[in-house]
Amino acid sequence: MSDVTIYWRPGCVFCMRLENALGASRNKATWRNIWEDDEAREFVAMVNDGNEVVPTVVIDGRPHTNPDPALVARALKG
């Protein structure tokens, strides 16, 4: 299984789509709410040209902006 961190915010339809697509495997990832975590918000802006684009998913140290849920699911399955 890969190391997966998902940066999200409440009300984001793309975040909800990702969460739903992952099903039970979503619990294997670390979720960081950018509206409650300043460090997470700053990281997301840094890797997205100053924009707070979510979901931003880091898989084994590599950021992916609004990735295909299948990519994240594969990483969580190992």
Residue 62 has pLDDT above 70, yes or no: yes
Beta strand 30-33 pairing with 4-8: parallel
Reported as a pLDDT band with limits 50, 70 and 90, residue 2 is confident
In order of 15, 57, 71, the CA distances from 33 in angstroms are: 11, 12, 21
Range list of H helices, the chain: 13-22, 38-47, 69-77
Residue 41 has pLDDT above 80, yes or no: yes
Residue 48 has pLDDT above 90, yes or no: yes
| Mean pLDDT in residue range 56-62 | 97
d(CA 24, CA 62): 23
Identify which of 27, 30, 25, 40 has the alpha carbon closest to the alpha carbon of residue 70: 25
- Give the sheet arrangement for strand 30-33, strand by strand: 30-33, 4-8, 56-59, 62-65
Residue 49 has pLDDT above 70, yes or no: yes
Residue 22 has pLDDT above 80, yes or no: yes
pTM: 0.95
